[in-house]
Structure 1
Amino acid sequence: MTNNKLFRAVSATLAASLAVAALAPAAVAAPAMMDKKWENKPQMPKQQEKTMQLTLLQMGDIHGHLIPRAHLRSDGNGAQWGGLAYMYSKIQELRAKNPNTLLFNTGDTIQGSAEALYTKGQALVDVLDHFGIVGFAPGNWDYLYGAERFVELFGNGRWGGVAANVYYDPAVYPDKAGQTVLPPYRILNLNGLKIGLMGLSTERITLAPGPFATAGFIATSEGEEVPGIVDTLRNQEKVDLVIMVSEFGLAKNVQFGEKYAGIDVILSSDMHEETSREPVVTRNGTIVTEVGQDGTRLGQIDLDIRNGKIANWKYTFHTIDSSKIKPHPKIAALIKQKRREFVAGRGFKAHINPFNGMVLKTPIDTVVGKAEVPLYRANFSDENMPGAVEGTSHDFIADAFRDQAGADIGHMRGFRYGTHVAPGDIKLEDLYHYIAIGPQVAKTTITGQMLKDDLENNADGSFNPDTFKWTGGWQQALSGVKYDLDLYASKGNRVQNVQILNRTTGQWEALDAAKSYTYAGYWYDQAPKKVGALISSNPVTPVKGAKGEVLDGTAVVVNYLKTHTANPEQNRIRLLNPLPAPVYGNPEIQPLQGVSTAY
């Protein structure tokens, strides 16, 4: 069923079936009203002007990072950034300055680390439950552990979760057809100020890591629900402010702010972009912000509210630099407790991988190899190896998969999450920040044409000027492959001069569309024909251990590091033209308006 058909099918029953939190007792208007713009109805003159200084704090895209990590991009100096104990100290500092402070989490929280994976998110939840989060937009990776687990964690109103576009799949839950999994909105009351909080999750919930993991949920993809809910909040709930927490990513959220009047603030996640200099302000006056990844940044919007309206505002972008902020003792102690069973010491215990059944028997702070170059993927669009195109971390992992599978080509998906690893020791937990979703690694056989088509689709899905055609993530990483990329060329002609390394001769050869090549990448028992990005009709061979045991993707890389260092060849993708310049006053990683065909 297409998204539009799905939306029409559920809209008739949406108002009656949505479970709105106790803070929002009024019914939600059906999205059939979505074409109606909100309007402020005249109110009785007020005898005295009511003012409030309101502070909104935004965290997002934590991706399982409990402790600090190095920051190796050009805007850092290699210092340790992030860490939830340090972030909480900053949050409490800002709360002390203004008691009218609200904290929001904009998604992708309970995935991205060993602690998250092996506890199905519980380690992160137990820490963040102390933060006083009042609004949460679940990210696609927050649905990773399945429908039942998601409801168990967030179906109780935890963190004020809202998601207007995620529904129960009637094929799995016929008794819940048309119902959203979380409330589409909530009402927050703060000292007489009435705030409407609405939320969206990206439509890519079924891609993390695959539909098998989130069976039972479906999501619409165009934000069809937004105008109807804004209308409800403005004209029925009579709120003073509308805040949207959205995991649709900065590029799309800016478009929502441009298209739909009535949203005061959109707190955005998913793309890991940073509105580090200034928010994006749309033609409707909507303030849109995004705060990077891994808990390294915290956004602050100070609003001067007069008679329920924003009179003035100020934006501050904080770096969570552990050399300048002291960790909060209570949160630091809790994190230490949560990590105790994962790190070396008397408290360590084995854990079972929920996706592949492999048993974790090695403390995650064990050194498993050496990096000769910085490993990360986050460069801005005007720098060498822009993050949207390539990164050393992904190249290194693709090399490991290719080597350990004995394949012609190694593939690593173009995910945005990860971490930064400085030259020197690589710990097992670093690998889990890159390979956090329980894949195995397998080899199959593909044709040259399959590879070329996939690379073209990947480029279109990462840089299409219609951002609603993006498929999520960035360019995938490949080992044993290099090519030229002309993003200004027409679709089907962007990937040029593809070369394949001949494993026998050590020579680079032009890709032969008719030739067969062995290809290695992520693999799951639950999707046995899919290897990496491709579905193969040929036999699939998982990489096994010395005794035939199941190996998690991290274990495959550990085995590679026993005989290699992490020193990947760089610039495997040669950009023939620079990426477009940033459009909203902030450095960009992925061009926020895509790349238009020039010829």
Structure 2
Amino acid sequence: MRRKIHLVLASWLAAVALPASASAAGAGPLPAIALAKAEARSGAADKAAAVAPQRMVKSLTLLQMGDIHGHLVPRAHLRSDGNGEKRGGLARMYTRIAGIRATHPNTLLFNTGDTIQGSAEALYTKGQALVDVLDHFRIDGYAPGNWDYVYGLERFVELFGNGRWGGVAANVYYDEAVHPEKAGQTLLPPYRIKYVNGIKVGILGLSSERAINALGPWVTKGIKFADDGAELPGYIDLLRNKEKVDVLVLLSEFGLAKNVQFGEKYAGIDVILSSDMHEETPEPVVTRNGTLVVEAGQDGTRLGQIDLKLQGGKIIDRQFTFHTIDSTVEPTPQIRARIKSVRMAFLDGPFFRPHRNPFNGTVLKTPIDTVVGTADIGLHRSNFSNEDMPAAVEGTSSDFLADAFRDQAGADIGQIRGFRYGTHVAPGPIKLEDLYHYIPIGPQIAKISINGQTVKNMLEGSANGSFNPDIFAWTGGWLNGYSGLKFDLDVYAAAGQRVQNIRVFNRQSGQYEPLNPEGSYTFAGYWYAQNPTDVGGVRTSGPVLPVKGAKGEVLDGTAVVVNYLKTHTANPEPHRVRLLSPLPAPVYGNPEIQPLQGVPTAH
């Protein structure tokens, strides 16, 4: 590109150089006709120099990784679209990225959030283990996910306030109630500009639209999240009409459902790279404004590639490739060595060392590659919406964990929040690190007493937050997982009427019995000492009984599950939720996990 422009300018200089040098040598002024010819040649060359770049076709490649959730190494893939082999692994992903860069030199790599949470290595280093590996990837732009704030404001700014990975977030502010001197100030720049191959690329960011409900407001104290995308019109106008970018890319952790709506509502965005919902788009969604919207699954198992061609500052062609990071991709030795280095202190061997949990103060004294139990069936929560036990409703992994909480707490009902993250565990040995992929945020497990009406309200709230036809009313995640409960779910019913025929397991009779709205039940779920009146999202004014160790010591949630596995295998009863009607069919041409337009109230 630059060489071609240079050659045009050289030709123009050659055309006028001789007359100019002759005049300087004292040959006298040029004759009028010669001057006219020189000016004509000069004007034609100048016009050619201006027109050539406009006719030239320029290429730009955008790569997307997102929702890594602490996964450094491959994990099993048990959903119907795989064969059970292991997928993911950052060393494999880097190989694919490097290969694309080698054949597509004008490439930008983007990370769309939820990166530094989701594993033991992430938890006990407060994200540093992931940062130490991904710093080698040369990431060009990054939109943080809600879980990237899980270690608090100070840690977030320490990691990303220095421009690491080109972080952008137009909707996350310092909370003026805590930091009045920074009122209206965003934690990260709202946008950045990149020049690639003569193309001016605007990179706009939307981070998470919500705090981290599972822990409570204490964990993101000092941070304020805006949740409706109201910042978009102003920044789109600025980037298009003042900055005059050729390509506008939105990195957004608002989730595929909302990001498609942004693409429909706001003209001027060329590409939206979406994260949060863990949806996959083998075929990109194209909105009525022409915006291309894609999302790349979870755990580093997928990589998105968009190849653009531009002419005269306009996109004239778009191609999308959806890469699977599987065993056909060889790991890059240097990245594999870096991963080995950061994991060394967590694995069995001479370099293992204890680690302190930043949330509950417990100390990790067991290598995470230790086998702690057995799975009789595959454990995961990832099925598509048209499959048996769709992930938005239920999964074997959440059923198993809820069973462990209920058993170890001696409760009537066990619950785990409806997280979209997690991992897949094949039938066979369960390692401690598998449990940390499920429980990576340092909770304790506690028991409280609640009445039957509270149970009903809790179930309805979870269903409404997952299937509301107003996607901006979603609470982030899927239906909570339960043990000791069975119920029917009519996703098409009105709010407050979706959950029906609720039955509770009676430990004395060994039978499921109808829920008594006025009855008293014990309930076990996540608990944090920093948020002492909340258990599993249920507020209480009564006694809270955390599950303790044999000597009265504090137990991390993973240790509670390890204790359960000492006397049980992971073989949870499925189909605790009976769907009265199938979930809505996919609407954008790809299989869906959570219905991307919510569920309409049909009756």
Q: How high is the TM-score relative to the length of structure 1? A: 0.92
Q: Does 1:337 align with 2:341?
A: yes
Q: Does 1:142 align with 2:137?
A: no
Q: Distance in 1 between matches of 2:254 and 2:566?
A: 40
Gaps of 5+ in 1: 1-43
Other structure's SS at 2:346 match: coil
Q: 2:318 aligns with which of 310, 313, 321?
A: 313
Q: Which deviations, in whole Å up to 9, do the C-alpha atoms of 1:370-423 show, x marking residues without a partner?
A: 000000000000000000000000000000000000000001110000000000
Q: Which residue identity is paired with 1:150?
A: F
Q: 1:294 aligns with which of 293, 299, 302?
A: 299
TM-superposed deviation, 1:135: 0.5
Other structure's SS at 1:425 match: strand
Which residue number in structure 2 is paired with residue 253 of structure 1?
A: 259
Q: Which residue identity is paired with 2:452?
A: G
Which residue number in structure 1 is paired with residue 31 of structure 2?
A: none
Q: Distance in 1 between matches of 2:409 and 2:370?
A: 24
Which residue number in structure 2 is paired with residue 4 of structure 1?
A: none
Which residue number in structure 1 is paired with residue 331 of structure 2?
A: 327
Other structure's SS at 1:203 match: coil
Q: Which deviations, in whole Å up to 9, do the C-alpha atoms of 1:163-206 show, x marking residues without a partner?
A: 00000001111110110000000011112211110001122234
Q: Which runs of 4+ in 1 moved over 3 A?
A: 44-48
Which residue number in structure 2 is paired with residue 506 of structure 1?
A: 510
Q: Is the 8 A contact 1:206 1:218 kept in 2?
A: no
Q: Which deviations, in whole Å up to 9, do the C-alpha atoms of 1:14-70 show, x marking residues without a partner?
A: xxxxxxxxxxxxxxxxxxxxxxxxxxxxxx984541321211100000000000000
Q: Distance in 1 between matches of 2:274 and 2:433?
A: 28
Q: 1:586 aligns with which of 564, 586, 590?
A: 590
TM-superposed deviation, 1:457: 1.1
Other structure's SS at 1:566 match: coil
Which residue number in structure 2 is paired with residue 95 of structure 1?
A: 101
Q: Is the 8 A contact 2:214 2:537 kept in 1?
A: no
Q: Which residue identity is paired with 2:314?
A: K
Q: 1:368 aligns with which of 365, 372, 378?
A: 372
Q: 1:539 aligns with which of 536, 543, 549?
A: 543
Q: Which residue identity is paired with 2:290?
A: G
Q: Which residue identity is paired with 1:293?
A: Q
Q: Does 1:447 align with 2:451?
A: yes
TM-superposed deviation, 1:207: 2.4
Which residue number in structure 2 is paired with residue 460 of structure 1?
A: 464
Q: Is the 8 A contact 1:139 1:205 kept in 2?
A: no
Q: Is the 8 A contact 1:140 1:208 kept in 2?
A: no
Q: Distance in 2 between matches of 1:137 and 1:402?
A: 37
Q: Is the 8 A contact 1:381 1:387 kept in 2?
A: yes
Which residue number in structure 2 is paired with residue 193 of structure 1?
A: 199
Q: Does 1:241 align with 2:242?
A: no
Going from structure 1 to structure 2, the CA distance change for 1:208 and 1:267 (only over 3 Å counts) comes to farther
Which residue number in structure 1 is paired with residue 227 of structure 2?
A: 221
Q: Which deviations, in whole Å up to 9, do the C-alpha atoms of 1:329-369 show, x marking residues without a partner?
A: 00000000000000000000000000000000000000000
Q: Distance in 1 between matches of 2:526 and 2:75?
A: 25
TM-superposed deviation, 1:208: 5.2
Q: Is the 8 A contact 1:102 1:134 kept in 2?
A: yes
Q: Distance in 1 between matches of 2:495 and 2:387?
A: 24
- Give runs of aligned pairs for residues 434-583 of structure 1, distance below 5 A: 434-583=438-587
Other structure's SS at 2:602 match: coil
Which residue number in structure 2 is paired with residue 410 of structure 1?
A: 414
Structure holding more helix per residue: 2
Which is greater in Rg?
Answer: 2
Which residue number in structure 1 is paired with residue 38 of structure 2?
A: none
- Give runs of aligned pairs for residues 6-405 of structure 1, distance below 5 A: 46-48=51-53, 49-207=55-213, 209-276=215-282, 278-321=283-326, 323-405=327-409
Q: Is the 8 A contact 1:206 1:213 kept in 2?
A: yes
TM-superposed deviation, 1:491: 1.1
Q: How high is the TM-score relative to the length of structure 2? A: 0.91
Q: Does 1:427 align with 2:431?
A: yes
Q: Which deviations, in whole Å up to 9, do the C-alpha atoms of 1:99-124 show, x marking residues without a partner?
A: 00110000000000000000000000
Q: Which residue identity is paired with 2:589?
A: G
Going from structure 1 to structure 2, the CA distance change for 1:520 and 1:208 (only over 3 Å counts) comes to closer
TM-superposed deviation, 1:468: 0.3
Q: Is the 8 A contact 2:91 2:335 kept in 1?
A: yes
- State percent identity of aligned pairs: 71
Q: Is the 8 A contact 1:381 1:591 kept in 2?
A: yes
